[in-house]
């Protein structure tokens, strides 16, 4: 039997500022006081709705923080689906971060 780790230990670094990639934790897409953490990005942010639909198709149910790990270990196809969307999200996040840094550099250069 595979033991599922506690939810709080799945993502030890939960925000981009925890990883020192960003100065703040506010979601660019949602704004306000919405913290851009792993849970928000994977399960709530409208920017990644397409990725959630992809996972729902792969899982046969809506992905949630409570069922993600159980679904991932159920089959290689489900594991691969999560890896695929995680890579896509990380690539998008990295591109956004690089764009913000270029914009900040342009402001400080002038």
H-helix segments, 38-75? 38-43, 49-59, 68-72
Per-residue model confidence (pLDDT) at position 8: 47
Residues in Cβ contact with 104 at an 8 Å cutoff, skipping those fewer than 6 apart: none
Query: How do residues 33-71 score in pLDDT, each as one tens digit?
Result: 888 888 888 999 999 999 999 999 999 999 999 999 999
Question: Nearest 5°: phi and psi at 8?
Answer: -70, -15
Query: How do residues 79-108 score in pLDDT, each as one tens digit?
Result: 999 999 999 998 988 888 888 888 888 888
Alpha-carbon span 70 to 24, nearest angstrom: 31
Residues in Cβ contact with 10 at an 8 Å cutoff, skipping those fewer than 6 apart: 38, 68, 69
Residues in Cβ contact with 103 at an 8 Å cutoff, skipping those fewer than 6 apart: none
Rounded to two decimals, the pTM is 0.72
Domain ranges in the chain are 16-109
């Amino acid at each position: 039997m595979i033991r599922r780790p506690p939810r709080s230990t799945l993502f030890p670094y939960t925000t981009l500022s925890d990883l020192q990639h960003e100065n703040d934790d506010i979601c660019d897409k949602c704004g306000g006081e919405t913290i851009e953490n792993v849970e928000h990005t994977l399960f709530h942010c409208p920017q990644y709705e397409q990725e959630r639909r992809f996972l729902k198709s792969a899982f046969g149910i809506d992905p949630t923080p409570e069922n993600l790990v159980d679904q991932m270990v159920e089959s290689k196809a489900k594991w691969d689906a999560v890896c695929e969307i995680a890579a896509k999200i990380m690539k998008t996040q990295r591109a956004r971060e690089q764009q913000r840094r270029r914009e900040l550099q342009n402001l400080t250069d002038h």
